[in-house]
Amino acid sequence: MKRHKYQYGDDPSQWGELFLPDAPGTRGVVVVIHGGYWRSQYGAELGEPLARDLAMHGMPAWNLEYRRAGNGGGWPHTFEDVLAGIDKLRDVAAMHGLGLEKVVALGHSAGGHLAVWAAGRSRLEQLGAPDADRQLQRKHDDGAVHLTGVVSQAGLLNLADAEKLNLSNGAVSNLLGGSSGKYPKRHKFVDPMSAVPLRVPVYAVHGTDDDDVPASQSVSYASAAKAAGAPVQLLNVPGDHFSLIDPKAPAYRKCRDLVQELLG
């Protein structure tokens, strides 16, 4: 296995690391998006074991870092970074002879939110642009790298409910610079519920013993998406919030199987 780190911007947090299998078993790439309630104290080290494991199972993996709330991220920079980091795959794939026919995101917790949100980038314009997101609008053009599937691992997929529940001591408001009462357009723009239904398949995976992100985050999204005709599936797996990112745990191995399935 080989690994290569590339910057997609000038900020120290604007980078991704490509993990290449010795013998690729797929033509596509997996984008690993870490969680941590969008806060700066949690970084791409959370995604590295997953990217390494995926590569060991024949799947090229792009472990993506981005600016978080507390180190220059939050609204709108976290969202700009996620799209720009995914788009960097155009150059990276060309350098390493990788195909981008399939680009699947594997996102945990806040990373699950960002993954499902990014999968809806073609819907951004119709949602309407709040204040500072002109760059976000430009990032759904024909040159963009579009996700072809998502495996959300205990993702925060219903931000309105997450705000009401005050998850992680106001993490949603912290990400967006204020409450939905103060910035309703921002909140709507980045809530995966706003982009239902997506055209790409989404697996919403949640641990049965998750005490960090309520299962209702996956259930409510999957229910709304399914009712709208989207190709979404809700899966409950044994384990807690972090079993989903433990390469030794059955919960994670199920996620890996789903990624492999989406890559075809």
pLDDT at 111 over 70: yes
Report the alpha-carbon angle 157-158-164, nearest 5: 140
**CATH code of residue 51:** 3.40.50.1820
Global pTM value = 0.95
Backbone dihedral angles phi then psi of residue 227, each to the nearest 5 degrees:
-65, -30
Average pLDDT over residues 87-102: 95
- The alpha-helical segments, DSSP class H, found in the chain are 48-56, 77-87, 89-96, 110-119, 124-127, 134-138, 159-164, 171-176, 184-190, 216-227, 250-263
Q: Is the pLDDT of residue 197 over 60?
A: yes
When pLDDT is averaged across residues 112-134 and rounded to a whole number, the result is 78
Give the model confidence (pLDDT) of 220-254 as tens digits: 999 999 999 999 999 999 999 999 999 999 999 99
Looking only at the bridges linking them, the beta strands covering 103-108 and 149-153 are: parallel
Whose CA is closest to 156, among 36, 29, 23?
36
Q: How much of the chain, in percent, has pLDDT values that exceed 90? A: 89
Instruction: Spell out the residues 6+ positions from residue 132 whose beta carbon is closer than 8 angstroms to its own.
Output: 75, 76
pLDDT band of 27, cuts 50, 70, 90: confident
**In terms of residue numbers, what domain contains 51?**
2-263
| Cα–Cα dist 138/10, whole Å | 19
- Name the β-bridge partners of 103: 29
Element (H, E) at 203: strand 202-207
Q: Identify whether the C-beta of residue 114 lies closer than 8 Å to the C-beta of residue 78.
A: yes
In this prediction, residues 54-67 reach a mean pLDDT of 97
Give the pLDDT score at 23: 83
Q: Do the beta carbons of residue 261 and residue 200 sit within 8 Å?
A: no
Please name the residues in contact with 105: beta carbons below 8 A apart, sequence gap of 6 or more: 30, 31, 32, 33, 86, 115, 118, 119, 147, 149, 150, 151
Closest CA to 113 of 217, 246, 262: 217
Mean per-residue pLDDT for 34-61? Answer: 97
Q: What is the pLDDT of residue 127?
A: 67
pLDDT score for 135 = 57
Q: Which carries the bigger pLDDT value, residue 121 or residue 208?
A: 208
Structural domain tally of the chain?
A: 1
Count, residues in the chain = 264
pLDDT at 140: 47
Q: What confidence category does residue 123 fall into, taking pLDDT thresholds of 50, 70 and 90?
A: confident
Q: What is the mean pLDDT of the chain?
A: 94
Q: Using one digit for the tens of pLDDT, what is the confidence trace for 131-163?
A: 555 556 554 455 699 999 999 999 999 999 999
Q: What pLDDT score was predicted for residue 134?
A: 55
Which residues have a Cβ under 8 Å from the Cβ of 47 and sit 6 or more positions away?
32, 33, 34, 63, 64, 108, 111, 245
pLDDT at 121 over 60: yes
The confidence score (pLDDT) of residue 238 equals 97
Provide the 3-class DSSP secondary structure of residue 236. Answer: strand
Q: Which of 14-28, 142-156, 169-183 has the lowest mean pLDDT?
A: 14-28
Q: Helix 250-263 to helix 48-56 angle, to the nearest 10 degrees?
A: 60
